[in-house]
Amino acid sequence: MRRFWKKCVLSVFLISFFALGAYAQKNFDADYPTDTIYENNQVVYTPSTELWSFSSVAEDKITLTKKISAGSGSYSEFVYSNNNAPAFSFGTGFEFLYHDKLIAQDRYALKFFSVSYDPETKTFFRKDLSSAKLKEIFHDVKIIQISQFKDNKYHLRKVPFRPVKILLVNDTPEYFYKYHFYGDNFETYNLFGLLEVNKMGTIEFHHPAPEYRNLFIKVSPF
């Protein structure tokens, strides 16, 4: 009888373990967030409604095409689709539509902006995205701000076998050109700074030059 109960307990443990493992190995979506604007994609701004979209039948619509700048920066450049004249370039490299708004990220500043239009000057401009709006967009993501690092370290508590998405956001004047993430416990998304952490360990946000500080995210059980 004792041997029987041991087998039952072992069976329950194995079933739970593999179930959690299956959860941890869920399909990985590199296109998160959705509605990403890629190179040569067209986007449309409609001044009469102040809305962004991928298509429109409005008479006053402004159609733009995304281009990528030459050189190491790989910045986005939006041009008017009818004549290729420059419309705007704000030093960002990743853009997407969210609830009819155009959201852009500067990967080297680790900051987000929304792009708007001034009908009087007929020019586009960018505005800092609020923390509240960022949390709304990435509602299922743990947002980590640079100011939260103490002695270049941030401690992230993670439930075993359950992946967690994190997004590194800069709320300081620092700039992170040539920084990269190193570690074997996470997957990356197309959006720089967005990671899916799948096991314990250390994530290093690293600069190749020794005079720059490196940041470390220490992942440990809850």
Mean pLDDT by 10 residues, the chain (222 residues): 45 37 37 85 97 95 95 87 96 95 97 97 97 94 98 96 96 96 95 96 97 97 82
Residue 115 lies in a domain: yes
Tokens of 150: 């103490």
Instruction: List 115's β-bridge partners, or say none.
Output: 102, 126
Final residue belonging to a domain, choices 86, 103, 135: 135
pLDDT at 31: 58
pLDDT at 14: 37
For residue 44, what are the domain limits? 36-135
For residue 188, which of 81, 74, 107, 109 has the smallest C-alpha distance?
107
pLDDT at 72: 60
pLDDT at 79: 97
Residue 8 lies in a domain: no
Residue 25 lies in a domain: no
Number of structural domains found in the chain = 2
* Claim to verify: residue 166 and residue 120 sit in the same structural domain: no
Residue 180 lies in a domain: yes
Please tell me the distance from the alpha carbon of residue 114 to that of residue 96, in angstroms, as a whole number.
10
pLDDT at 120: 96
Please tell me the distance from the alpha carbon of residue 15 to that of residue 192, in angstroms, as a whole number.
36
Final residue belonging to a domain, choices 135, 163, 188: 135
Final residue belonging to a domain, choices 90, 117, 135: 135
CATH number at residue 161: 2.60.40
